Amino acid sequence: MSASTGYRGKFVKVKTAKKRKTSSTRWLARQLNDQYVARSKIDGYKSRAAYKIIEINDKFHILKAGFNVVDLGAAPGGWSQVAAKIIKSDSTNAPNKLIAIDLLPIENIPGVLSFQKDFYDHDTQEIIINALDGNLADVVMSDMAANTIGHSQTDHLRIMALCENALHFALKILKPGGHFVAKIFRGGAEVDLLTIVKQHFKTIKHFKPDSSRKESSEFYLIALNKKD
What pLDDT, on a 0 to 100 scale, did the predictor assign at position 145? 82
Per-residue pLDDT at 192: 85
Is 27 among the annotated ligand-binding positions? no
Q: Are 96 and 87 in contact (CB under 8 A)?
A: yes
What pLDDT score was predicted for residue 146? 77
Say how far apart CA 189 and CA 111 lie, in whole Å: 36
pLDDT of residue 1: 58
Catalytic residue check, 183: yes
DSSP per residue, 74-138: -TT-HHHHHHHHHHTTTSTT-SS-EEEEESS-----TT-EEEE--TTSTTHHHHHHHHTTTPPEE
Q: For residue 191, what pLDDT is reported?
A: 82
Give the model's pLDDT for residue 208: 94
71 is in an annotated binding site: no
* The pLDDT of residue 8: 44
Residue 88: how many CA atoms within 13 Å on its side-chain side? 8
Nearest to 127 by CA among 100, 166, 145: 100
Structural Rg of the chain based on CA atoms: 18
> Could you report the average pLDDT of every consecutive run of 10 residues in the chain (228 residues)?
49 48 45 60 81 96 98 96 96 94 95 96 97 97 81 80 95 98 81 92 95 80 97
User: For residue 188, what pLDDT is reported?
Assistant: 67
Active-site annotation holder among 183, 198, 202, 208: 183
43 annotated as a binding-site residue: no
State residue 19's pLDDT score.
Answer: 54
* Residue 138 marked ligand-binding: no
